[in-house]
Every structure is written in C-alpha cells, then in structure tokens.
Amino acid sequence: MAGIKDVAKKAGVGVGTVSRMLNDSGYVAEETRKKIRSAMRELNYTPNELARNLYRKRSGIVAVLIPNVSNPFFAEFVDYVETELYESGYKMMLCNTAKTHNAELEYLDMLNRHIVDGVITAVHSLDVEEYGKIHKPIVALDRYLGEHIPVVAVDHGEGGRLAAEVLIHSGCRKILHFKGDTAVGSPYHERHYEFDRVMEENQIETCSYELEWNRFDSDYYQETVHDVFARGMEFDGVFAVDWLAIECMNEVRRRRLRVPENIKIVAYDGTFITKLTEPRLTAIVQPIEKLAKETVRLVGELIAGKEYKNKKITLQVHLREGNTTIGRKKLLTDGKKRI
C-alpha cells in the first residue's frame, strides 16, 4: 500500500510539500498540486483522514443530540441534518439521550475532548448551567441555553394563534390543550401562551393537560390519552403534537365518535405522519428542512471561529388544513362568524 513518501517520490517533490497540500497548512503552487494529485491517482493513494483531522485538531464529526429518533419530528429533523452536514463536509454522530442516564453530559464531554467538532442539541434533559461551562461550537434547537449558544426555532406564537383560530372557526366551545412541561425554558412554550390568550379573548373554555418532561414515546402518548378518557374529560376540540393528536383521534373513533363532526383536531409539527391518517389531520407545519439547514449553517460557522451572542433565528410556520377541522369556506357558506 502506497504511503505519503511514495506519493512525494512519484511527484518529484518533498514529503513536506505533500503534507502541506493534504492538510491545507501552507502554500503549494497549483502546478505542484496537479503533480501530487496525479501521483495519488496512479498509486491509488488515500489520505489518512484520522491523521489529517488530528493534525488540524478536528474530527470532521458533529454530534446531533435528540431525545428519541422514533419521534416523527426528530426523525425528519435528523434526516435533513445528516444531508446538510454531509454536503458541508461533516459526518453525523447521532445521539439518542432519553433512554440513557447522563447521555447528554457524556456527549458534551466528547466535544470538550475534541472527539466531535460541534454539537446540535434538541434535548431538554440537562441543566443550562452545564452548557454554560462549555465554550465550544453548540447550536440549540428550541431551547435557551445561554447567550453564547445560538437558538434556532419557529414563530411558535404564530403557530398557537393559527391553531386556536382554526378550532374556533370550526365551532369548538371546549378544547383539550396538551401542553409541554414549562419547567424548561424554550421558545415552544409561546404557542401554548398564545393559544390560551386567543381562547380567553374569544371566551372559549380550555382543558389543559400538562405532559411529563422529556417524554416523546408512543407508550407515553397512549397512556396519556387513556388517562384523559378515564378522567371523563369532555371536549369538542384537541390541540396536540402530531403523534399525540393521532392517538387522540384513534381513541375518539374507537368510542364511536366522529371526526370532525363530534371532535375537531389540530396537530402541531406537521410531520409526514399527519398525511397518513384518514381523515387527514389539519396541522400547524414547522419547516423542518429549513430548521435543519439553519442549525447546520450556524454550527459550521461556529466551528470556523465565528462568535455569536444572543443569536436567535426564527422561521415561519403555516397552517395546512386537512379533514379533522371544518374548512373555512364551508363555515362561511353556513353563515358562521369568523373571529
């Protein structure tokens, strides 16, 4: 197997010149570069990527921390992030943190030890103080982790408003509202605040159900829906994340109730699973691909040495009307008042 000395001899240059070109650590004339590339092809020489990364103090790897890859939102996000990282010259290390104690802290320690070049985190399990101790490339999705860590999120307030309006348009008078745990500081709480504000403004009753912290799995969502019906909670509308909205719809239909005639449902996230149901879910859609592009762009800039302070990027959501609410055109035809 050919080595760097063989390449240098074939190209008629010194070993140091080949090393400078491979590591991009100094000037090498274009004509010399062509000779080196030609010698590498002839000898079928492949640079030792690990050695090159050690020389640069780079690994070429970005860790992506998520609670659970089985969750549709995180599954889509990771898929887009992997593509964006690859196109930017990085490999992805996927880190599921929900099932392993201290997993998040261990992955951050890898950043400190130069095993990964940067971290994109979408988890809410570790205290903010731990992130404050690390001054390395970190980008957060939907969580405030300190002024030196950029945040990428959507306009959740707009999402909450759109969800509230479509349920009111559909004639709902008592709505079951599933909320995330407010113990963790995150932009996504804004959707709940705005949803409640619009409902109160329009004198619509809401039944709030606060979900457990950092739970995103199917078993938990099923248990939650069973608990709702075991309590005998009455409602004619539901606002929940995609997976939970589908669990609600399934249970509603098992109880011989009709959607949207008896109960209207609006999902939040708008992942691919909302297009697989019958009836198709009305959803507030997050631009997941754009969220991935922005997080990768920012982590790349941080790795390159750019500094950010109090940086927040906010993207827009949109309403995708399905068949789990009553369409606005029909409501207008029926003569019902819009808000």
What band does 327 get if pLDDT is binned at 50, 70 and 90? low
- CA 83, CA 119: separation in Å to the nearest integer? 16
Residue 109 covered by a domain: yes
Q: Is the pLDDT of residue 180 over 50?
A: yes
Residue 258 covered by a domain: yes
Residue 141: which domain range?
A: 61-153+289-314
Residues 213 and 328 in one domain: yes
Residues 67 and 175 in one domain: no
Residues 185 and 307 in one domain: no
What's 252's domain CATH number?
Answer: 3.40.50.2300
pLDDT tens digits along 251-310: 999 999 999 999 999 999 999 999 999 999 999 999 999 999 999 999 999 999 998 888
Residue 84 covered by a domain: yes
Residue 9 covered by a domain: yes
Q: How many domains does the chain have?
A: 3
Residue 339 covered by a domain: no
Residues 71 and 104 in one domain: yes
Residue 114 covered by a domain: yes
- Which has more pLDDT, 29 or 24? 29
Residues 198 and 324 in one domain: yes
Torsion of CA 75, 79, 84, 88, to 10 degrees: 110
Is residue 285 within 8 Å of residue 121, measured between CB atoms? no
What band does 58 get if pLDDT is binned at 50, 70 and 90? confident
Residues 278 and 204 in one domain: yes
Residues 276 and 305 in one domain: no
Residue 85 covered by a domain: yes
Residues 31 and 174 in one domain: no
Amino acid at 185: G
Residues 294 and 149 in one domain: yes
- CA 299, CA 81: separation in Å to the nearest integer? 11
Residue 127 covered by a domain: yes
What's 44's domain CATH number?
Answer: 1.10.260.40
* Backbone φ, ψ for residue 283 (5° rounding): -145, 145
Which of 18, 35, 56 is where one domain is finished? 56
Residue 10, number of CB atoms within 10 A of its CB: 18
Query: Which range scores top for mean pLDDT: 205-209, 214-218, 305-309?
Result: 205-209
Residues 102 and 203 in one domain: no
Specify the pLDDT at position 48. 63
Residue with tokens 């050919």: 2
Is residue 185 within 8 Å of residue 144, measured between CB atoms? yes
Specify the pLDDT at position 170. 96
- CA 25, CA 19: separation in Å to the nearest integer? 8
Residue 102: both structure tokens together? 């201290």
Asked whether the CA dihedral 195, 201, 204, 206 is positive or negative, the reply is: positive
Specify the pLDDT at position 109. 80
pLDDT tens digits along 63-117: 999 988 889 999 999 999 999 999 998 999 998 877 666 677 787 787 777 788 9
Q: Is the pLDDT of residue 182 over 90?
A: no
The residues pairing with 268 across neighbouring beta strands, listed in sequence order, are 241, 284
Residues 23 and 96 in one domain: no
Average pLDDT over residues 221-235: 94
Residues 326 and 205 in one domain: yes
